[in-house]
Structure 1
Amino acid sequence: MNSILQCLSNTEALVKELINLNKPALNYQSKTKGMVALEVIQTLRSMWSGDIRVYSIKDLKALMGNMKDIFKGTSHQDSNEFLIILLEYLHEDLNVHNSLTSLSGAEESTGEKAWGEFRRKNSSVIQRLFYGQQKSTVTCSTCQHSSVTFEPFFNLFVPIPSTSDKVTLHDCIQLYMSGENITGWKCPKCHGERNATKKFDISKLPPVLIIALKRFTQENDSWLHKKENVVMYPVQDLDMRRFTVRDSEQRYTNYDLYAVSTHSGTLKSGHYKAICKNYLTRK
């Protein structure tokens, strides 16, 4: 929890909006009745007040534990799972549209139409900063019919190639985008359960891009294990244009790294720490 909050606390646009937010701006009809947003806002205000050297997040931890049993106690949990759940709660607490839409895929004629429908029901600082849209294409191996779905995302959870002990972040993203072979897909054209291929393209990149590495994997029916491959990534100018839908207009394409949550240890135990660029000092 601490490492993720440190990363979020150095997300400049998020901090500036949340610490100046008034209580009436919250959605008290959400699952948490606005309580998660209130705790996060209080945490950020305290961290950036300059008056406190050490701040305890015990109240936020207790609240998250009440909402999700996995966050009760002191057992080892996945930081990316915490980030996903925290951002979902924050989005619901801050969403000015009470009629939430499902975050699953919608089969629309165009990505813009699907994105417009999503934004019509979802408007928060979380949506504005972190949400993008990806295009999923499933192609039937029998008749070659393709089914296209557009779905919002705020976290690219990318696998690590097993081909080398040292890979690049681009290698990981490319492996994710290249998709997978699936079985039992119900083809709407040839009307049967078929083998198919599924691939991804990004139709809309967000202002702030979150990428998580899938370190813990299960291969060849073995136990879960941690991949220790070295993943090299650019600190500045990560170019995502090669992964976008061809000829799509993108407002955001290049990204500078400012925060990393790292893990040392095993599946059952270990330690998370954050390495962040202070958005005030730029160091």
Structure 2
Amino acid sequence: MGSPKRKISRTGNVRSGYTGLFNLGNTCFMNTTLQALFNTPQLQAIFTSAEFFKHINELNTKGTKGVISACFSALLDSVWSGKFIAIRPELFLNAFASEVCADLADKRQHDAQEFQIYLLNALHEDTNKVTKPESFEQNYDGHDLATNAEDYKARQNRFSSSPINDVFNLRTVSQLSCSICRSTSVTFEEMNQISVELPQGTYYSQLNECLAKHFSDITLAGQNCWNCPKCKKPQIANRNTKIWELPPVLVIHLKRFSLSGGTFVKNEMTIDFETNGWMNMEPYLHSKALKQKSTYSLYAITNHDGTLNSGHYTSFIRNRISHEWLKFDDEYCTAISPDTLKSKKAFILYYTNQNFFSGHPQL
């Protein structure tokens, strides 16, 4: 019996952004992530073939010297060219395997969120303006939080600075307070997504409830006591974490998998999230943070169906030209109703605080 016919890229005129990606063997996790990133307008502005060379820092030894960025740019331009019904992204996969992470390119089932972390980090390092990063430690008491934040930002920019960070990174501030002496310690943190826990034992929850829980105060007690530098011993403490600075693109990861009894169990509850209006992130900002744009519009969803080791990824994308919601299932692209966006399969949500869709007024 002969080997199965190799699927090749299919040419043909389609609307811009309506091009699918062939599955190369359990690579749906890669395809859905790429579709979401290709439909992030801020990334398009950076990685078109005419622009991305300007951002490459070949002196950064942590990057790929522009290799993965070139492959990402070429595939992005091809997807938006309108000349392909579906593309076989084998050159990109091979470059990812050789330059970024071979383990995630072995044509086995993997986590879309993990793939995105590796890819964004590789694109960041390719475009990192800092050639010799200066490491630094935080030591803030929080008495003048605005000054602390400015000092941290200046140090962070000497450590890591790229257009990728400018698009995705949000900054949080966490304050620890000793229950005995009331001394405080403040730390800032950069992240390119918010991973929120889902409630257990229920079939439905709202995203704003999950975010409120994520940014609620926590008491550190028992084995988790804070080693207070003033008391010089472990003490019960309160930890308060809030957002200090929001990014243009906000990625929210719904943590559907948790370890139970040695195996990963999936939480298949339906999460209610804003799909047609603007989601307001102001309730999760620190009270002393600067006034900033805090409303976000949904433009992409990564969905997961099945179990951790045996599942399938699809993506819902709002095309920024036609404004139509599309479902990408590997090489297949079909129009869908916005009424079908919310489901127990929603895994990663992508929001932008910029109005790329006309007739969609911002709050």
Fold in common (TM above 0.5): yes
Q: Which residue of 2 aligns with 1:223?
A: 263
CA distance in 2, matches of 1:143, 1:225: 42
Structure 1 residues 105, 243: CA separation in 2 closer, same or farther (over 3 Å shift)? farther
Structure 1 residues 8, 101: CA separation in 2 closer, same or farther (over 3 Å shift)? farther
- Please report the TM-score for the alignment, with normalisation by the length of structure 2: 0.72
Moved more, 263-272 or 143-152: 143-152
Asked if 1:17 corresponds to 2:55, the answer is: no
Moved more, 235-244 or 185-194: 185-194
Q: Where in structure 2 are the equivalents of 1:130-279 lying within 5 Å?
A: 130-162=168-200, 164-178=202-216, 180-182=218-220, 183-218=224-259, 223-235=263-275, 236-279=277-320
Q: Deviations over 1:235-267 (max 9, x none)?
A: 121100000010422322000000011111102
Matched AA of 1:64: F
Cα contact 1:261–1:272 (8 A) shared by 2: yes
Asked if 1:26 corresponds to 2:59, the answer is: no
Instruction: Count residues in correspondence.
Output: 281
Look up the SS of the partner of 2:84 in the other structure. Answer: coil
Matched AA of 2:79: M
Look up the SS of the partner of 2:316 in the other structure. Answer: strand
Q: Which residue of 1 aligns with 2:114?
A: 81
Asked if 1:53 corresponds to 2:85, the answer is: yes
Structure 1 residues 25, 17: CA separation in 2 closer, same or farther (over 3 Å shift)? closer
Look up the SS of the partner of 1:209 in the other structure. Answer: strand
Kindly, what percent of the aligned residue pairs are identical?
A: 30
How far did residue 56 of structure 1 move?
2.0
CA distance in 2, matches of 1:68, 1:272: 20
Cα contact 1:61–1:71 (8 A) shared by 2: no
Matched AA of 2:213: L
Structure 1 residues 105, 5: CA separation in 2 closer, same or farther (over 3 Å shift)? farther
How far did residue 12 of structure 1 move?
1.1
Structure 1 residues 36, 270: CA separation in 2 closer, same or farther (over 3 Å shift)? same
Moved more, 120-129 or 9-18: 120-129
Asked if 1:99 corresponds to 2:132, the answer is: yes
Cα contact 1:138–1:148 (8 A) shared by 2: yes
CA distance in 2, matches of 1:117, 1:273: 39
CA distance in 2, matches of 1:222, 1:199: 31
The higher radius of gyration belongs to 2
Cα contact 1:240–1:253 (8 A) shared by 2: yes
Look up the SS of the partner of 2:190 in the other structure. Answer: strand
Cα contact 1:185–1:194 (8 A) shared by 2: yes
- Please report the TM-score for the alignment, with normalisation by the length of structure 1: 0.90
Cα contact 1:84–1:155 (8 A) shared by 2: no
How far did residue 146 of structure 1 move?
2.4
Cα contact 1:158–1:173 (8 A) shared by 2: yes
Q: Deviations over 1:201-233 (max 9, x none)?
A: 0000111111101111135x6632111111100
Cα contact 1:141–1:194 (8 A) shared by 2: yes
CA distance in 2, matches of 1:262, 1:122: 31
Moved more, 85-94 or 61-70: 61-70
Look up the SS of the partner of 1:113 in the other structure. Answer: helix
CA distance in 2, matches of 1:105, 1:49: 46
Moved more, 39-48 or 143-152: 143-152
How far did residue 275 of structure 1 move?
0.4
Cα contact 1:115–1:133 (8 A) shared by 2: no
Cα contact 2:173–2:186 (8 A) shared by 1: yes
CA distance in 2, matches of 1:142, 1:75: 52
Structure 1 residues 112, 52: CA separation in 2 closer, same or farther (over 3 Å shift)? same
CA distance in 2, matches of 1:105, 1:10: 36
Look up the SS of the partner of 1:224 in the other structure. Answer: strand
Structure 1 residues 77, 107: CA separation in 2 closer, same or farther (over 3 Å shift)? farther
Structure 1 residues 194, 77: CA separation in 2 closer, same or farther (over 3 Å shift)? farther
CA distance in 2, matches of 1:161, 1:101: 40
CA distance in 1, matches of 2:61, 2:217: 34
